[in-house]
A and B are shown apart, each in its own frame.
Chain A
Amino acid sequence: MANLLWLQGGACSGNTMSFLNAEEPSACDLVTDFGINVLWHPSLGVELGDNLQKILRDCVSGAITLDIFVFEGTVVNAPDGTGEWNRFAGRPMKQWVRELSDAASFVVAIGDCATWGGIPATAPNPSDSEGLQFLKREYGGFLGQGFKAKSGLPVINVPGCPAHPDWITQIVVAVATGRAGDIGLDEFQRPKTFFQSFTQTGCTRNMHFAYKVSATEFGQRKGCLYYDLGCRGPMTHSPCNRILWNRQSSKTRAGMPCLGCTEPEFPFFDLAPGTVFKTQTVMGFPKDMPEGVDKKGYIAMTAAAKNAAPAWAEQDIFVV
């Protein structure tokens, strides 16, 4: 039996919605098959007021063993560092986060807001938001660089806007069943099993990427979304085309550019008219090249690909 507590800071509840839609395993499977005891969750917890405060206080004091503390949303520091803009159970949420993180064996940040601040922490960051151990790419965040949970692991970051349902439940199960040691973390403390490959890995439009055939409008049944429509699939670490959404599809498979939501800088675009869903360029070259590719190599690759492109690559391929 592992006790899990889930709290929500500056958030839209998107990751809760995602969690409740998990299938492999489902939220119910966590309880029935993996012995996870959900102490409280914003959408599932039945306790209110004094009863909820007692649970939280008991977790902090150790009267209840807190095995896994899951946090969704940003840590809100405004105004003036007090955190009063996000009060919960009688005091600023940030105070609960600090004490519960110190008490927990494992701390798991779910979604972009909890990992690196996400949309709320985008400049000018009016709520003075930050992630648990990062603020965008900057290491530290609310808990600080040196923070480690009682297990010895830092915050386990499962980013995404939202995180895929099964990323959430599979990480929780791994931790609850004593396999946390098997979870290798990357430089941003993301589980490598999910975040070492790229969104582009497994994309059905990879042939068009290879032959440099671009989609130029949404809904086209051919073409790669990277060249013109701002897709960040080649630079974004996620398994969105390996672990499909709703077991059916992904953004890029459906003709929607990847927004890069598992990376610390998300959202990338300056939101000026004409810049969202448009590949950002400097003198005709993409501002962000596919990871590991330089300008010279990119030109050479383009010339070779164009010369080698077969005729079918220019025609609709995803027909109904």
Chain B
Amino acid sequence: MHTDEENKLRVHIGEVLANGLETQLEPFPETHKEFAELLADLRELPKDDLNAKLVLSGFADKPYGPDQMRCLECMYYLVHRKWCDLPELAVPVEPDWYCRLWRI
């Protein structure tokens, strides 16, 4: 995907979230087992169903939780590309966004 396309998609995702898309922020996958189950569910989704992906992974356009977790500190986040490198997500993101697949 080219940078322009990524930028457009990032803007689009931002708009979808700002417009009130209700996502599954909870429950947070407590251990690697729940995390693996969530990944398996994500793999079952149709590849082009972006909204379903955002809902299931619990996307938010702001930090979340008592520790204010956000993409910037997540290990899947690529700072320069502003990209989530988790293969099951693989979407452009903003550093202050969040999803429940957050890991550090």
**Chain A residues close to B by CB (< 8 Å):** 212-214, 216-217, 227-228, 272-275, 278-287, 298-299, 302-303, 306-307, 309, 311, 314
Kindly list chain A residues whose C-beta atoms are within 8 Å of the C-beta of B36. Answer: 273-275, 278
Residues of chain A within 8 A (CB-CB) of B78 are: 213, 314
**CB of B31 closer than 8 Å to a CB of A:** yes
Bound complex: CA A58 to CA B85 (Å):
64
Q: Check B35 against A281 for contact (C-beta < 8 Å).
A: yes
Chain B residue contacts of A273, Cβ below 8 A: 36
Q: Is the interface of A mostly helix, strand, loop or mixed?
A: loop
Query: Among the listed A213, A274, A309, which residue makes an inter-chain contact with B32, where contact means beta carbons less than 8 Å apart?
Result: A274
Please tell me if the beta carbons of B40 and A274 are within 8 angstroms of each other in the complex: yes
A281 touches B32 (CB 8 A): yes
Known: A214-B85, A278-B32. A314 touches B79 (CB 8 A): yes
A113 to B33, CA, bound (A): 29
Determine which residue in B28, B75, B81, B87 has the highest number of CB atoms from chain A within 10 A of its CB, and name it. B75
Q: Contacts A216-B76, A216-B87; is A280 near B103 (CB within 8 Å)?
A: no
Residues of B within 8 A of A298 (CB): 104
A216-B85 CB under 8 A given contacts A283-B28, A302-B73, A306-B77: yes
Q: How far is the CB of A283 from chain B (nearest CB, A)?
A: 6
Q: Mark contacts of B74-104 with chain A using CB atoms, 8 A cut-off: 1 yes-contact digit, 0 otherwise.
A: 0111111100011100000000000000111
Which of B's residues lie within 8 Å of A, judged by CB?
Answer: 28, 30-33, 35-37, 39-40, 69, 72-73, 75-81, 85-87, 102-104
User: Contact at A282–B30, with CB atoms within 8 Å?
Assistant: yes
Q: Which residue of B lies closest to A230 (CB)?
A: B32
Query: Are B37 and A274 in contact, with the CB atoms below 8 A?
Result: yes
Known contacts A214-B85, A228-B75; is A311 also within 8 Å of B102 by CB? no
Check if A306 sits within 8 Å of B73, measured CB to CB: yes
Are B79 and A279 in contact (CB-based, < 8 A)?
no
- A283–B27 alpha-carbon span in the complex (Å): 11
Q: Which of B30, B33, B104 contacts A275 (CB 8 A)?
A: B33
Q: Is there an interface contact between A311 and B80, defined as CB atoms closer than 8 Å?
A: yes
A126 → chain B, closest Cβ, in Å? 25
Contact A227–B79 (Cβ < 8 Å): no
Query: In the complex the two chains form, what is the Cα distance from A114 to B75 in whole Å?
Result: 38
Complex Cα–Cα for A196 and B60 (A): 45
